[in-house]
Structure 1
Amino acid sequence: MSMSEIMTLSSSRELVAIVVALGIGLLIGLERERRKGEGPGRSPAGLRTFAVASLAGAISMLIGGKMLLAVVTAGVVVLTAIAYSRSRSDDPGLTSETALVLTVLLGGLATEHAALAAGVAVILTVLLAARPVLHGFVRSVLSEGELKDGLIFAAATLVVLPLLPDQPIGPFGALNLRSIWMLVVLMMAIGAAGHVAMRLLGARGGLAVSGFASGFVSSTATIGAMGARARKLPELAGAAAAGATLSTLATIVQLAAVLAATSVPAFKALLIPLLCAGGAAALYGAVFTVLGLRQTGSADLELGRAFSLPGALLLALTISVVLVLSAGLRQAFGEAGLVVSAAVAGLVDTHAPAAATATLVASGKISTAEAVIPVLAALTANTISKIVVAWTSGGGSFAARLIPGLIVVVAAAWAGAFAPILAHAVFTY
Structure 2
Amino acid sequence: MPHLEIFQTLAISLALGLLVGLQRQHQNARIAGIRTFPIVTMFGTVCALLAGDFGGWIIAAGALAVTALVVTGNLIQRDIKPDDVGQTTEAALLLMFAVGAYLVIGNTAVAVAIGGAVAVLLHLKETLHQAVSKLGEKDLHAIMQFVVISLVILPVLPNQAYGPYDVLNPYNIWLMVVLIVGIGLAGYFAYKIFGDKAGTLLGGVLGGLISSTATTVSYAKRSKAGETKNTNYNLIALVIFIATAISVVRITVEVAVVAPGGTLAIVAPPLVTLLLLMAVLIVLGFFFKKEDAGRMPEQENPAQLKTALVFGAIYAIVIVATSAAKDHFGNSGLYIVAIISGLTDVDAITLSTSRLMNDEVINQQTGWKVIMIAALSNIAFKGAMVAVLARRALFTRVAVLFGISLAAGLLIIWLWPENFQLHWLTKL
* Pair in the same fold by TM > 0.5: yes
Class of the TM-score when normalised by the shorter of the 2 chains: 0.7 to 0.9
| Equivalent residues of 2:13, 2:103 under 8 A apart | yes
Number of residue-to-residue matches in the alignment: 406
Which residue, out of 123, 129, 137, partners 1:135? 129
Matched, 1:299 2:310: no
Deviation at 1:174, TM superposition (A): 1.2
Q: State how 1:98-113 maps to structure 2 within 5 Å.
A: 98-109=91-102, 112=105
Partner of 1:278: 275
Q: Distance in 1 between matches of 2:111 and 2:257?
A: 34
Q: TM-score, normalised by structure 2?
A: 0.75
Task: Write the deviation string for residues 175-207 of structure 1: whole angstroms up to 9, x where unpaired.
Answer: 344544444444345445655776787677644
Amino acid at match of 1:356: S
Is 1:175 matched with 2:160?
Answer: no
CA contact (8 A) 1:281 1:409 kept: yes
Q: Which residues in structure 2 correspond to 1:111-150 (within 5 Å)?
A: 112=105, 115=108, 119=112, 120-139=114-133, 149=142
The change in CA–CA distance for 1:401 and 1:56 in structure 2 (over 3 A counts) is: closer
Instruction: Give secondary structure in 2 for the equivalent of 1:216.
Output: helix
Q: Which residue of 2 aligns with 1:73?
A: 63
**Shift in Å, 1:299:** 2.6
Specify the alignment match of 2:421 in structure 1. none
Q: CA deviation at 1:209?
A: 4.4
Matches within 5 A, 1:304-315: 304=299, 307-309=302-304, 310-315=306-311
- Other-structure match for 1:40: none
Query: For each residue in 1:202-243, what CA deviation from the matched residue of structure 2 results, as whole angstroms up to 9, or x when unmatched?
Result: 677644542343123222222211211111223222322222
Unaligned runs of at least 5 residues, structure 2: 419-428
Identity %: 24
Counterpart-to-counterpart distance in 2, 1:206 and 1:272: 30
* Alpha-carbon separation, structure 1, partners of 2:172 and 2:358: 11
If the length of structure 1 is used for normalisation, what is the TM-score?
0.74
Report the CA distance shift for 1:370/1:297 in structure 2 as closer, same or farther (over 3 A): closer
Cα separation, partners in 2 of 1:401 and 1:97, compared to 1, 3 Å: closer
Compared CA separation, residues 256 and 59, structure 1 to 2 (3 A) = closer
Q: Indicate the larger mover: 345-354 or 164-173.
A: 164-173
Residue of structure 1 in register with 2:409 after alignment = 413
Please show how residues 376-415 of structure 1 align to structure 2 within 5 Å: 376-415=372-411
Q: What does 1:234-383 align with in structure 2 at a 5 Å threshold?
A: 234=228, 235-263=231-259, 267=264, 269-271=266-268, 273-275=270-272, 277-279=274-276, 281-291=278-288, 293-294=289-290, 296-302=291-297, 304=299, 307-309=302-304, 310-372=306-368, 374-383=370-379
Given residue 275 of structure 2, which amino acid in structure 1 is its aligned partner? G
The one-letter code sitting in structure 2 at the alignment partner of 1:66 is G
Give the alignment's Cα RMSD to 1 decimal: 4.2
Corresponding residue of 2:221: 228
Residues 271/175 of structure 1: CA separation in 2 closer, same or farther (3 Å cut)? same
Question: 1:162/1:78 Cα in 2 relative to 1: closer, same or farther (>3 Å)?
Answer: same
Change (3 A) 1:285 1:77: closer
Q: Is the 8 A contact 1:270 1:417 kept in 2?
A: no
Distance 1:171 1:114, change over 3 A: closer
Quote the Cα distance in structure 2 between the aligned partners of 1:188 and 1:362.
22
Structure 1's unaligned 5+ residue stretches are 1-8, 38-42, 423-429
Q: What is the rounded CA distance, in whole Å, between the counterparts of 1:16 and 1:384 in structure 2?
A: 58
SS at structure 1 position matched to 2:210: coil
Q: Distance in 2 between matches of 1:221 and 1:266?
A: 30
- Partner of 1:426 in structure 2? none
Conserved? CA contact 1:24–1:118, under 8 Å? no
What SS is found at the alignment partner of 1:169? Answer: coil
Residues 220, 389 of structure 1: 8 Å contact kept: no
1:95 to 79, 82, 88: 88
Q: 1:84–1:243: structure 2 CA closer, same or farther, 3 Å change rule?
A: same
Once the two structures are superposed, what CA deviation does each residue of 1:328-369 show, in whole Å capped at 9, x if it has no partner?
Answer: 343344444433333332221122123222322222222123
Could you give the per-residue CA deviations for residues 234-277 of structure 1, whole angstroms, max 9, x where no partner exists?
32223222222333222222223333433455555555653564
2:211 paired with 1:211: no
Q: Larger deviation: 320-329 or 146-155?
A: 146-155
Alignment correspondent of 1:3: none
Q: Which SS does the other structure have where 1:344 is aligned? A: helix
Higher-Rg member (1/2): 1
Judge which range, 311-320 or 145-154, deviates more. Answer: 145-154
Letter of the 2:95 partner, please give it: L
Distance 1:350 1:16, change over 3 A: closer
> What SS is found at the alignment partner of 1:361?
helix
Name whichever of 69-78 and 148-157 sits farther off: 148-157
On the 8 A contact 2:198/2:296 being kept in 1, the answer is: no
Distance, in Å, in 2 between the alignment partners of 1:189 and 1:45 is 38
8 A contact 1:208–1:244 mirrored in 2: no
Instruction: State whether residues 131 and 193 of structure 2, in contact with CA within 8 Å, keep that contact through their aligned partners in structure 1.
Output: no
Equivalent residue of 1:353, what SS? helix
- How far apart are 1:71 and its partner, in Å? 3.2
